[in-house]
Amino acid sequence: MPRIAKIVTPEIRYKSIHNAPEKHPSSPAFSPQTNPWQQALQTLDLVTDHMKLEPWIHERLARPKRTLTVSIPVKMDDDSIKTFEGYRVHHNLDRGPAKGGIRYHPDVSMDEVKALAFWMTMKCAVMNLPYGGAKGGIICDPRTLSDKEMERLTRRFTAELGIFIGPERDIPAPDVNTNPQIMAWMMDTYSMNVGHTAPGVVTGKPIDIGGSEGRREATGYGVVVVTQEACRILGIDLKTACVAVQGFGNVGANAARIFHKLGARVVGVSDKDGGVYDPQGIDIEDLRLFKKNKPSIAGYPKGRPIGNTDLLALDCDILVPCALEGQLTQDNAPQVKARLIVEGANGPTTPQADKIFKQNGIMVIPDILANAGGVTASYFEWVQDIQSFFWRAEDVNERLTQLMRRAFTEVCGISKRDHIDMRLAAYVLATERVAQALRIRGIYP
């Protein structure tokens, strides 16, 4: 046994991970059930027990490697100065540089960012990408900021992150409410500070400055690839299947569009402010046109209006949550009628809801596999930036499909071998890869 294992008893091991959750005053009051970091730790406990993971490895994964909190002063359009709070968390870097998105949202908190960074470690490992996991965010409401304020906020945040990020250290990307333009400002700010253009410092950039073909659509595209694989197993014909999509941001809108294109009937779509239900199927292209230059799809005149949470209980074959974490809980899980849930969002299902789905025989394709298309295309973008050699969209999509299918098959194999659900199987695959890197690298000094 490694020396460190002797001093960590199982009692300490479990006590150490359930520290009081950190909360920012303006963050939502998480209950232990909906606190994303506590949820991440519960999953880690499950996988640790299943794999009989060495306690010292469990300890390493139950804490982020490093966390950074920054205050970001921004000159507002009315000349006042407002100070925002931002975070970047490196969860684990044993398999490579840190990778993960940046989120702008009023409910961002350190605990949320820690959970999202943990999920990135696992997501990159499931896909066998040479990355560790990171995440960042700023507590802000982008709807209340002008473009100029967003630019100044982003540039100052990037400058504050200067000590963390870099093409070989930590590579941010878009997440909730961030986009290619924000990545362009990050890339430019970082490049100005280091004195040369460094496209590989962020992914999800506009194509004109070193972004990749296919990156923008990649998360939604990957969601559809794994759905096709799962449908094959469950005997669902996607062409006649009914799909409900929660969230109409980059992931939800692209997934809905591709499902629609493949002939599936998208019967429900919703976002934070409302949604639409049409048992005959929604014309997603028309809905996208409606949403152009609007913050929400609420008010779309064709079909019946429905609420964001009503969508989860719709009569459908496939439910695709693509919004925020903690949406499927023990309260609404019993009402879910879908046979298959594909997690386009990060952490949309609480562990309690997961148990209910298991009892009800609903297959769940977990986030760390289902939405990994985004970070996989980010990896392709980073490789192209490093080589200064760019691929065609067909090459990106072909390689993306290959890697998504490979990961799906590997997870499925573990699920069958160990008689466990797809989530636990995905964690077993990922954790074993991270643990192996930890064992081989050993402890410094």
**In the complex, which residues of this chain contact ligand GLU (CB under 6 A)?**
99-101, 123, 173, 175, 203, 346, 371, 374-375, 378
Q: CB burial class (10 A; 0-12, 13-18, 19+) of residue 130?
A: middle
Annotated catalytic residue within 135, 148, 239, 291? 135
Sheet of 242-246, strand order: 304-306, 274-277, 265-271, 242-246, 318-321, 340-342, 363-365
CB nearer to ligand GLU: give 48 or 203. 203
CB nearer to ligand GLU: give 173 or 311. 173
CB nearer to ligand GLU: give 187 or 356. 187
Least gap, CB of 166 to ligand GLU (angstroms): 14
Q: Whose CA is closest to 92, among 441, 348, 445? A: 441
Least gap, CB of 300 to ligand GLU (angstroms): 26
CB nearer to ligand GLU: give 242 or 258. 258
Least gap, CB of 286 to ligand GLU (angstroms): 27
Cα dihedral angle (412, 415, 421, 423), rounded to 10 degrees?
-60
Helix axes 180-194, 147-160, angle to 10 degrees: 50
Least gap, CB of 100 to ligand GLU (angstroms): 5
CB nearer to ligand GLU: give 175 or 188. 175
The tokens for 158 are: 């990037």
What is the rounded CA–CA span in Å between residue 385 and residue 301?
44
135 catalytically annotated: yes
What is the rounded CA–CA span in Å between residue 112 and residue 389?
36
Nearest residue to ligand GLU by CB is 101
**Residues with Cβ < 8 Å from 415, sequence gap 6 or more?**
421, 422, 424, 425
Residue-level length of the chain: 445
CB nearer to ligand GLU: give 117 or 298. 117
**Residues with Cβ < 8 Å from 100, sequence gap 6 or more?**
116, 117, 120, 133, 134, 135, 136, 172, 173, 175, 375
The dihedral region occupied by 79, where left means phi > 0, alpha psi between -120 and 50, and beta the remainder, is: left
What is the rounded CA–CA span in Å between residue 382 and residue 158?
18
List, by residue number, the catalytic residues. Answer: 135
